[in-house]
Structure 1
């Protein structure tokens, strides 16, 4: 006959191998199998647990044993209704590392001075925390709402960022996070604000696994409701954004789409940091300038944003702090603008992927000096243009001298940059060069057979052949 090991609170059931199984456990009267009144099976009868000393550490063991994630709360006072049979456990004291509730210290089974008005409960993160996105264009974009105490409520945007949004998107099976808008981007909620000051590492399986203030404890209003836009939302860009009236798509008056209408951004406090976020969101490289006073002409509709204040790390302009949508004291004579580095191109002597390198700055094209110019720098240009890999980095104006500004000199790229403008270089326009030193590139993509520069054509053909053979 087997004797019970000292760590078992209950008579342990042994298999043929002699390994004990933990006592059966269930949660009753909750909204899911991962929330409810705690009940354990002893002598073939279900019974409750008294809430004397019951805390989140004890609840955590229950959640882990049931495969329900982490403990959200450890309700006392028969929150999930009173049981009617035995009260099996009292003064439960878990360290938090136990695999089962039956491994925790407690009074002997059935020894208690409790009533069923003291039955202990548990809420786990597994399926007890319901999560939804409201008022968006699809189930994968909208205002974040969580269910607690049978009531839906919102999340405050204090500390809210793309990491937290990523946890929400993953939990909902909505792909990755595109943006984490605050300031009630998808409208204000009307019920409780359940969560504030959330801190996620980004590895959590559910928002409820992140550190946060206690449920309902916040210093927020619904104008600060947090939102999420996930990759499966059908929204192609984080927040619809465009640059209008410029010479190309990466320069112009900033316009944002809100409430099904395009509108402008007021230039109050508008600076290069804010412009940088716009350029990044539009995949237009880095910000060259942040013109104010309707530099690209005045808009005619709403002025949606004012006093924009970006940290510079945001994924989208909508993630930056600003006054509430439409609240401003501006006119269209103060419309904000942006010039980004995005439109870099080679002059087209040898097809779209070979030629003299030119960059746009202050609405003027100019060349790059060949001082320190090499295959690493050429590689960044080719990648930025979608032209494959660099075959050569000719200098000395091999594709002919330019005639305008020499914008860049002493460029230093590591080779990992997304755009040439991300590389270190002298300030714009500062150089000791002449156009006989204009830099060029020859990329592997779409090389035209009638390339004007014989040396480049021959060299490129040789390198292309070598590439194909290797």
Structure 2
């Protein structure tokens, strides 16, 4: 792997700090990268890692001049979604194929250092509390006037697709340090958040309970997965939905870590087997993924390192499979969303003691909503409305003070007050809007 490239990365000999010859720290000195196999995918990762926006081009042939004496002899291969070049795959190359005159370069759209923005506290770079870098310090943004137009600019700046929601009220936790922006008023077309109209830097009448957040569309773009031709929904041949088609996964390097992610994504418990060689029969259509290499902690199979979509040297006799311990949805029957436009949005109700009841909105936030959406197979949480946004329920108020981390498999795993202990009424019934509409 390319772990040795994690330490430092720089662009040399460009007209700005966001373009130039790509150099990495290697054995205490700087080394250039070879342009063999160098493409926009690798350039995008470099630009993202350096906070330089999106990649515009990936020139080779020493476009930015010849670099240091040393050159790395391994080639880098990225999907393009990685957060750092060190995460990309590397493979050795013979001495003769890489020499001066073949250095790789990038040209990024560019963000000045003070334009940098990030989303934190949600476990995804494309959703979380908004933080902006100004005057050598990260700070938050107040939610006064915060709306989808502002969120749209953040999502574009981070190359995260479109804005799905713009939650305020510290729903991604309270930041610390300075509150840099207040009364932000973007038109939606700005290239950076700092280009939007707002009060002067650091001038506000806010506290961190008003920290603004963003959920972008890329965060909900995990490719759906299913297990087919097995004895139940939790065992079978792995198929992934991409480009409007279901396709299979090649078994090259397929192992328990990869299977673990599939079982988690499907709420199917733990891994029992990770069979290869089309154990559950050969699939049809495209082979979407090959050389899948999961750490085991990813939320979806499409988040794992792999070759590019559809890039493989396989046939369907190598289709990968999974057998998980569960063969039914764990307790999704005990949870429902009602009074919404579809079954992936609405007032949250839980089944307890042979009766449906509601949840109080005290402390209700996107981490709690994320667990509900995952449990129901409804994708990611887009918003977590309180104050009976989907109407007032009836019957008991079962839960109050729910405080999920966001990684739990079911809502009942989350800390909360004991069943039916609350100081609420149905005006405070909690709701959820998920990204999916299956």
TM score, norm. by length of structure 1 = 0.31
